[in-house]
Each structure stands twice: as C-alpha cells, then as structure tokens.
Amino acid sequence: MEADILIIGSGPAGIQAAIHASRRKASTVVAGKPSASAAAGTEVDNYFGAGEISGDDLIAKGIAQAESTGAVFVRQNVVSAAKDGDRFRFVLDGGDEVVVKAVVIATGVSRDKLGVPGESELFGKGVSYCAVCDCNFYKGRRVVVVGNESEAAVAAEMMTGYASETSWVHWNLEANPVLVEKALAAGVRMYGSKPASIGGDGKVESLTLEDGTVIPTDGVFIELGARSSADIAMDLDVMPEMDDSIKVDSECSTGVPGVFACGDVTGKPWQVAKAVGQGCVAGTNAAIYVRGAR
C-alpha cells in the first residue's frame, strides 16, 4: 500500500492529524488500534465544547469524521519502520506494508506494565520496556521477552541476534502466526504461562511463571501492546528523550525531514486538548511537506 502520509496511533492526536492531513488532499493512512488509546475506556469532562463524553464516543466520532474526509484506518500495529531513500517503509502486524512520503508519530505513551513483584524494583537493572533501546546491553547474555502480541514476536526474534539465549513468555498469544514462526526459526524458546514475579538481588536473575517454572535470565523485556514511541522513533533516525518522549518544534517536526509527532508522545500535559491541538499542527504540516510547499 502506498500513500502520502502514515499516522501511527488512532487516539485523539492521530485522528485529528488525519482529519487535517486528508482535508488538504494528502492520501492518509492511520495505523493502530483505537482500543489502545489512552482515551479509550475513560470519561472526558474537560474538553472544550464536549461537556461530559466518554473517550470511546469521542474516538468513534473522530474516526467517522476522518473517514469522511478520505482517511483510511487500518486497525493493525506497526511492527517495523525504516527510511527508504526519500520514503518511509512500514510493516504492520497483519503483514501489510505501507510506503509513504511522511509519517506522524501519535502513539501516545506506553503505560502497560506487568504489575508483578520485582518489576518496578528492578527497572533499569534488567527490566526494560524497549528492546530496540537496550538490546546492545545484552550481547551474549540470557533474556526473556514477555508479551502476547506481534510486537513481542518481533522483539524476541531481534534479540536472538544479540543474546546467547532468548525466551518468550506469553499466556494469551495473539501474535501474527508468521511472526511467531520467524521467532521460533530464529531459536526462541516459548513458555505458555503468565509471569508471577521477577527475581534478583540488585539485578535481574530470574523470571518465575504462574505454573512454577523458573527461567534464569539476565534481562526481562516487557513488550505489551504496540511498539513504543522510542522504538519507532529510533527506526526513523529520531533520537527520543531520556523519558522516551519525542522532542518537536512549533510545527510538530522532529527535525528529521518528513517525520512529525504529536500528542502524549511529545510529553506532558497528557490531555485530550493538547493532543488534538498538536494533531492539527502535525497533520497540516505533514500534508504541506508531502506537497513540497516548504
């Protein structure tokens, strides 16, 4: 699939970016699962003109509006991204490929955690939420990737190129079968039980599963849901900040030509109003970029 713009994320920021990009006659594809938006399942009562409205209703109305302007929504997550000359090439978890002239990163911030003992205590001491960011620290060491979706499959396969032993823990596997087969072919060991705790004295030493299995390991990569903004940004030569946010200028440009970002991914405040405002700016400027009006 080819288009002018790919917007990654289908929350308020991404949807607003889609509305403004497509209204400027740029062919626009939006990738992501609306249910993964931070607004999904919430009640919004501080957004101008809306009164009290559920986040789900706000998203649904926004998608309908964006579709009416020509935007195409693909309810799949991005599993890989790369620059390809003056274009950007993305692979989605359903196997589809999208090639575009510009991209808007509107993934929000990753708040998905396991919530098991040892996770917060050992964060940064073997517990990581970004395989792309931290893979080099685990050359020749044992690692475990935790997650049920395609992003975990991609991370597990990637880690086989660094780690001496890569395991993948899942309990409700929803990953694309093709990506699962690639991980297995690369030598990944799979375990089908939910994590119960992460152990270690000052650093990660093991992961214990609910079925009693103990996996000795030097690192636990928690990959729940879509790829993080940091992963995608680094794929596109954008260096994320220390907190994994993406720095943008007044035009929501990242500094890499053709790469824009908006919403929660650019930092606090994590509010619908800010997300929508930046979505307008990012979508408009992405459309201007692809039309060569700069």
In terms of Cβ atoms closer than 10 Å to its own Cβ (0-12, 13-18, 19+), residue 55 is buried
In this predicted structure, the answer to whether residue 293 has a pLDDT above a threshold of 50 is no
pLDDT tens digits, 113-171: 888 999 999 988 999 887 877 888 999 999 999 999 888 999 999 999 999 999 999 99
- The token pair at 112 is 């998905």
Note the pLDDT of residue 39. Answer: 83
Is the Cβ–Cβ distance between 169 and 221 less than 8 Å?
no
Identify the CA nearest to 169 among candidates 215, 135, 205.
215
Instruction: Read off φ and ψ for residue 80, nearest 5 degrees.
Output: -155, 150
Q: For the beta carbon of residue 99, count every other beta carbon within 10 angstroms.
A: 13
Residue-level pLDDT at 226? 64
pLDDT at 227: 65
Domain 127-222 in the same topology as domain 5-110+227-290: yes
CATH of domain 5-110+227-290: 3.50.50.60
Q: Please tell me the pTM assigned to this model.
A: 0.74
- Distance, CA of 120 to chain centre: 21
Pairing of strands 219-222, 142-146: parallel
pLDDT tens per residue across span 209-267: 999 999 999 999 998 866 677 778 888 999 888 778 899 999 999 999 999 999 999 98
Instruction: List the domain boundaries for the chain.
Output: 5-110+227-290, 127-222
* Paired residues of 8 in beta bridges: 31, 105
**For residue 111, is pLDDT > 60?**
no
Q: What pLDDT is attached to residue 294?
A: 42
Percent of the chain with pLDDT over 90: 69
CA 21 centroid distance within chain:
21
Mean pLDDT within 61-81: 94
Q: Domain 127-222 sits in which CATH superfamily?
A: FAD/NAD(P)-binding domain (3.50.50.60)
How far is it, in rounded angstroms, from Cα 4 to Cα 56? 28
Of 283, 230, 292, nearest to 103 by C-alpha is 283
